[in-house]
Structure 1
Amino acid sequence: MSYLNPLRLHFAGQFQANVSTVNNDPGHFDNAAFEPSYQKLQGPNMNPPNGWFNPTGDASWRLLGCKVTSAWLPSGAASPTDPVLQYLVADSDGRVCGKMVDLDSEQQLVSEIWGLQVRITDSKGNTLLRGNFDPAPFLDIWDRATGQTSGDVIAGAMYQSVLTSLQWADVSNSPFLAALQASGDRLSIKFNVDGINLDYTSPQFMCGRIAGTIGPSAPGEPKSMVIGRQFMTAAAQGGNFFKPKGGINFFAAQVDSASSSIFLDLGNALSTGTPGGALNDLGDLTLSVATSGGTLTLGTIPSAGQNGYSGNTPWYQTTAGVVQLPLTAQQLAAVKSAPLTLSGNSGITISEWDSGVFVRADTFVYRASPGDKLQVPVYAMQWGQPMVEATLSVVPDSSQLQPSNMIHPHDVPPVATPLSALSFVDNTQRPQKVTPLSDEFNGTLVTGQNGVAMLSLVTSDPGTPRYFNHGKEYGLDGQVYGIRIGFADTGTYSGPENQWNFISILLWSDFSPAQPVTWTSVQPIFQQYANLYPVMARFLDMADYKQVVANASLLSLAFGLDPSDPNSMPVTRDLSPAKRAAIQSFLANPQFGTGAPPPVARAQAAAPASDAMRPAAQGGKAAASARRLVLRGISRTL
């Protein structure tokens, strides 16, 4: 049943996402044209463009000052004497913090958290529960803060994943934690993030608000989505990331017959006036269901009063936006196969599709090498239940990818080409039919008894389509693709689309260096990371042969770690296994080689601007969102 469960706790506090921004511009991947000014903090009169608002970010992702704000048992709210209500939710105390990682500089809107460990501790820091957060990307990013019109600060988004490898201390004195421990060997976690601070002069720089929920995770259920009721909305005019037409963003709900109630997750669905501020007053929110006899009201979420959601009430912090509404037997029967609607003031509304269906891949971000076979579980549901023998469509869709080059605007690395590097495997035929993707491709899948269909893709070498025009030595590795899953019967199953509901794939280029592997082969790789992540210069110059050799053992250890390890190099997780193997081979037996690339000439860095002259932060998610192909009208439509 996931975190939308009678057994759950809520927490609130801050997060830190200290992302590096030099790699946000694909033009910075051109080793031959890289300038020192690209590593400088943005400022006026800096030409060419620079490293944007946080060039020395180290990708750290942290939980800061998060407290348990409420806890719930199937019987109701946890007793005020349960010590869990005095506990904290924290990240690791025994290893480095998690990392935030973009898939690609031309797909920055599925940023993942890797290597995060989540703990529940007492006020003294003693750990009661420790679990590993399964890497997951954010979802449903939108223009949450309505009082501003642009920039990353207006955004809200959500993460959903599971905590695994659970380690428990003695929790017998907490009835809530004892019940949570008994629920199974993994937990479901979901949290909302908003209000990121991009003022580099502030002590809260790169920090924002977080509110989340932890609950049980049932065996066999997906990790990063809810098998439940899905509220959908169309896009309004304007907006940066996404502006919902009805004023409420996408959200999930779940009907629980055992407790005769319905759970709504409004944590990333309700807008705020200011970034990270109080929720806007949209009026009392009424949940209703369409029946043959008319509209039946199911419950109301008040906007004002002690339990109201709007203004400076504690509602959001103590609930993370999760609402439980009791249902009568009549109401339970009515919601089984009829669309739900949530409405507030005039024009404030969001509903399920009339047919009550929804489809999404559980894991929707993939990295692959030539020759890999991807197996992507896709879940279809209707009225919150698995949808059996549903026929699904599979089409390439690059509309939300973000090609650009601020350095040389006429040399923009293309996305989603060649499509033929991805092939669709039709498992319904014997022998299996393998079809390379093309602009005209439209494949089908059929769900099984569990409502799951397996999308099978095989990969081949995409070549180097994103190397720069002036030479074939430098550029972005591989290619990034988008694939969208829908219902084949659009006459029966249709409604507002979620533009973010698609599968992103980074397919690396083949890499076969001469043997033995020498500095000649790996220097361009090290050079690129030295350029794009200047924070490394605090420890060593990765483009310098002598420094790399002097630290070969340490580097070999870091490059050899599993990507889920927070110490894994590179922090960006964008190094192909083939290049990783080549680096390991070189580090085991460092040889300079012959014909090594000469040092790249460096111009003098532009002088940094004075603090008073610095403009608003640029070059983040908002800039990436503005570069999407769909906004240019030159890609396959949604």
Structure 2
Amino acid sequence: MSYLNPLRLHFCGRFQANPSTVNNTVANFDSDAFVADADKLWNPGGDAAWRLSGCKVTCAFTAAGPVGADDPILGYSIADSNEQVCAKIVDLDPEQQLVSEIWGLQVRIADTNGNTLVVGDFTPAAFTDIWFGRSQGKSGDMGAGAMWQSVLTKLRWGDVSHSRFLTALQQAAGSGKLSIKFNCDGYNMTPTAPDFSYGRVYGTIGPALAGEPDHLVVGRQFIAADPGKQGINHFAARVDTSAACLFLDLGNALPTVVAGGPAASLGTLSVGIVDPLMTPGTPAGHVTVLGTIAPAVYQQPDWFARTAGVVVLALDAAQLRAVAASPLALAGDGPAAAFISEALDGKFVRADRFVFRLCPHEQAEIAVHASLWGVPYPDAEVTFPADNQQLQAQVQVLQVGLPPLWATASNPAATTDRNGVAILRMTPPDPGTPRFFPDHPDCAIDGQVYAIRPKLADQSIDANVNASNFISILLWSGFAAPAPLTWDAIYPIFLQYANLYPVMKRFLDLSRYEDVVANARLLKLAFGLPASDPNAMPVTRDLSPAKRAAILAWLDNPLPGTAPAVKRVEAHLETVPASPPPGDGEGGKSAASKRRLVVREAE
């Protein structure tokens, strides 16, 4: 049932995301020509930290309704770990920066004295449904919104007997998981601001049932034809027949007046059934209304904080029967004429986990979930065509002459089981080092990034497409460590990391043999940790297992070599301030998103 559940809590507070964007530009992967030019970098000293700050439980619900003031859950904190360093946020690749993942996060519910009542490990997840037009008062990254959905596992519970809500949540977590979804917006990229690198976060925690996907609601999927023009973004909903209601998650769907502010008015929002015989576009006369949401409700200053954007509409028996096999829509009556609906045939497919890092010849299994009218769709054929239009190419031509991703076919297919799950299996070959950038021919970017968009073979009706719903794969280049293994083989790896993640210079210079040997024990520990550990190196998570194994082997016996002297201008972080974002608040994500147009035009 995921977080869209009668049993749930909402929280709100602040988040911090402090990435360095040195590795956003392919030119910086040319180690011999690398110049740490502060005028061309935003936040070069970022440490990739991602943390929660000042988050409080604002509302909680059981099947009987909202909990009262006698339940101490209200006002408790939603916090990250008090036992380990903060989580990390990293991109997949300089040519796929729109699936930033959070690694190494723990989430706690703590009482007013800071005592942990439950803590769980956040399964690494990437954001999706990024929307650069979310704020009506800001452009670029600072006006954007995005959402993360995942699960908390390895739950450790304290004594929760004093809270009826937490007692019910513990009993409902029989799968050993909790479902969590949160939205982030209002990000401050101005280096001189007191809240630089912070933004607003609000979200929901509820039970996760066995067999459910971790990062996806199997429910009704509302997809906008053009979120920018329509003023509303994609969102998920769920019909709960037991509770006789419809849950709608508008947390990342409604525009805001200002970045991180209250919702802008789209007029009265009507939720209802679309007439499939008429073409949606202008909602008048097309929707049989099931319920409405007034601007006086969703425009309240604390509405996002109290509800996380989750709306619950009661349905009677006739309405439940009507929505079971009919497309749903949400329409506004304001000047923006917002309109968003499900596919008219009720079909939807998406991968649960949609970001992968693979080694050559590694067998991979990717699960996709197909649904029909919000329930699993069995015996459906799913195809997996390549679709690179949302990758952010940094040259005009992308993936020309590349070795195929598939071992046997360019467009494989799979059939869903009774749970609506199809498995894409692949064993990709070694891509070599195919990327070439004419202005920087010596750039060394490991592997190649690919994109695959699952499709239902029988979805004949033209349906709106959510641009974020595709699978991103970084396929690493093959690497064979030479023998004997000397500093000459390890130096290029460490040098590039030292360039792209300069905050490490505060502790040691990875491009200096003497510094590395002096810290060999600690480096071996960090490079030997699983990627899910927040202390793992490299922070960027873009080191192939083959290169990691070579580093660990060399650290056991650090033979010197004849590596050349460093050919770069040193960046001294103590004297290099974080540069302001270029343009009108535009930073890494908005700049990357514009490169998607280059790909489409080139094709």
- The Cα shift of 1:470 comes to 8.6
Please say if residues 191 and 580 of structure 2, whose CA atoms lie closer than 8 Å, have aligned partners that are also in contact. no
| Partner residue, 1:92 | 81
Aligned equivalent of 1:366, options 351, 356, 359: 356
| Partner residue, 1:420 | 403
CA distance in 1, matches of 2:305, 2:440: 53
Instruction: Say yes or no: does 1:160 pair with 2:128.
Output: no
Aligned pair in 2 of structure 1 residues 414, 79: CA closer, same or farther (>3 Å)?
same
Aligned pair in 2 of structure 1 residues 364, 612: CA closer, same or farther (>3 Å)?
closer
Which shows bigger deviation, 53-62 or 340-349? 340-349
Aligned equivalent of 1:624, options 579, 588, 592: 592
Please say if residues 403 and 629 of structure 1, whose CA atoms lie closer than 8 Å, have aligned partners that are also in contact. no
Aligned equivalent of 1:527, options 495, 515, 529: 495
CA distance in 2, matches of 1:559, 1:612: 33
Aligned pair in 2 of structure 1 residues 267, 603: CA closer, same or farther (>3 Å)?
closer
The aligned amino acid for 2:307 is: T
Please say if residues 380 and 452 of structure 1, whose CA atoms lie closer than 8 Å, have aligned partners that are also in contact. yes
Instruction: Say yes or no: does 1:513 pair with 2:496.
Output: no
Matched position secondary structure for 1:388: coil
Instruction: Say yes or no: does 1:124 pair with 2:124.
Output: no
| Partner residue, 2:7 | 7
- The Cα shift of 1:36 comes to 3.0
Please say if residues 233 and 245 of structure 1, whose CA atoms lie closer than 8 Å, have aligned partners that are also in contact. no
Aligned pair in 2 of structure 1 residues 245, 446: CA closer, same or farther (>3 Å)?
farther
TM-score where L is the length of structure 2: 0.94
| Partner residue, 2:379 | 389
Q: Over residues 239-292 of structure 1, what are the superposed CA-to-partner deviations in whole Å (9 max), with x where a residue is unaligned? A: xxxx34432110010011111111000000000121111110111211111469
Q: Over residues 456-495 of structure 1, what are the superposed CA-to-partner deviations in whole Å (9 max), with x where a residue is unaligned? A: 111111111125569986511111010111122342x431
Alignment of 1:95-494 (within 5 A): 95-148=84-137, 150-183=139-172, 184=174, 185-235=176-226, 243-290=227-274, 295-304=287-296, 308-312=297-301, 314-346=302-334, 347-404=337-394, 412=395, 415-416=398-399, 418-423=401-406, 434-435=408-409, 437=410, 442-466=411-435, 474-491=443-460, 493-494=461-462
User: How many residues get paired?
Assistant: 590
CA distance in 1, matches of 2:485, 2:194: 45
Which shows bigger deviation, 284-293 or 146-155? 284-293
Aligned pair in 2 of structure 1 residues 472, 200: CA closer, same or farther (>3 Å)?
closer
TM-score where L is the length of structure 1: 0.89
CA distance in 2, matches of 1:448, 1:119: 35
Aligned pair in 2 of structure 1 residues 538, 616: CA closer, same or farther (>3 Å)?
farther
Please say if residues 394 and 443 of structure 1, whose CA atoms lie closer than 8 Å, have aligned partners that are also in contact. yes
| Partner residue, 1:427 | none
Matched position secondary structure for 2:230: coil
Please say if residues 413 and 468 of structure 1, whose CA atoms lie closer than 8 Å, have aligned partners that are also in contact. no
- The Cα shift of 1:393 comes to 2.2
Aligned pair in 2 of structure 1 residues 3, 601: CA closer, same or farther (>3 Å)?
closer
The aligned amino acid for 2:563 is: A
- The Cα shift of 1:599 comes to 2.7
Q: Over residues 541-580 of structure 1, what are the superposed CA-to-partner deviations in whole Å (9 max), with x where a residue is unaligned? A: 0100000000000000000000000000000100000000
CA distance in 1, matches of 2:25, 2:390: 17
| Partner residue, 1:499 | 467
CA distance in 2, matches of 1:489, 1:634: 30
Which shows bigger deviation, 219-228 or 272-281? 272-281
- The Cα shift of 1:446 comes to 1.7
Aligned pair in 2 of structure 1 residues 471, 101: CA closer, same or farther (>3 Å)?
closer
Aligned pair in 2 of structure 1 residues 443, 146: CA closer, same or farther (>3 Å)?
same
| Partner residue, 1:408 | none
Percent identity of equivalent pairs = 52
Q: Over residues 31-88 of structure 1, what are the superposed CA-to-partner deviations in whole Å (9 max), with x where a residue is unaligned? A: 0110132xx2x3xxxxxxx22x211000000000000000000110112210000200
Matched position secondary structure for 1:55: coil
Give the unaligned 5+ runs of structure 2. 278-285
Please say if residues 251 and 265 of structure 1, whose CA atoms lie closer than 8 Å, have aligned partners that are also in contact. yes
Please say if residues 415 and 480 of structure 1, whose CA atoms lie closer than 8 Å, have aligned partners that are also in contact. no
The aligned amino acid for 2:23 is: N
- The Cα shift of 1:422 comes to 1.3
Matched position secondary structure for 1:367: strand
CA distance in 2, matches of 1:122, 1:360: 37
Please say if residues 28 and 34 of structure 1, whose CA atoms lie closer than 8 Å, have aligned partners that are also in contact. yes
CA distance in 2, matches of 1:583, 1:483: 32
CA distance in 1, matches of 2:268, 2:507: 55
- The Cα shift of 1:343 comes to 1.1
| Partner residue, 2:283 | none
| Partner residue, 1:47 | none
The aligned amino acid for 1:337 is: A
Instruction: Say yes or no: does 1:33 pair with 2:33.
Output: yes
Please say if residues 347 and 459 of structure 2, whose CA atoms lie closer than 8 Å, have aligned partners that are also in contact. no
The aligned amino acid for 1:234 is: A
| Partner residue, 2:280 | none
| Partner residue, 2:506 | 538
- The Cα shift of 1:384 comes to 0.4
Please say if residues 30 and 468 of structure 1, whose CA atoms lie closer than 8 Å, have aligned partners that are also in contact. no
Aligned pair in 2 of structure 1 residues 378, 112: CA closer, same or farther (>3 Å)?
same
Q: Over residues 160-206 of structure 1, what are the superposed CA-to-partner deviations in whole Å (9 max), with x where a residue is unaligned? A: 00000000000001000000001121100000000100110112101
Please say if residues 398 and 629 of structure 1, whose CA atoms lie closer than 8 Å, have aligned partners that are also in contact. no
- The Cα shift of 1:632 comes to 4.3
Please say if residues 56 and 78 of structure 2, whose CA atoms lie closer than 8 Å, have aligned partners that are also in contact. yes
- The Cα shift of 1:389 comes to 1.3
Q: Over residues 74-119 of structure 1, what are the superposed CA-to-partner deviations in whole Å (9 max), with x where a residue is unaligned? A: 1101122100002000000010000001001110000000000000
CA distance in 2, matches of 1:565, 1:601: 31
Aligned pair in 2 of structure 1 residues 226, 611: CA closer, same or farther (>3 Å)?
closer
Give the unaligned 5+ runs of structure 1. 43-49, 236-242, 405-411, 425-433
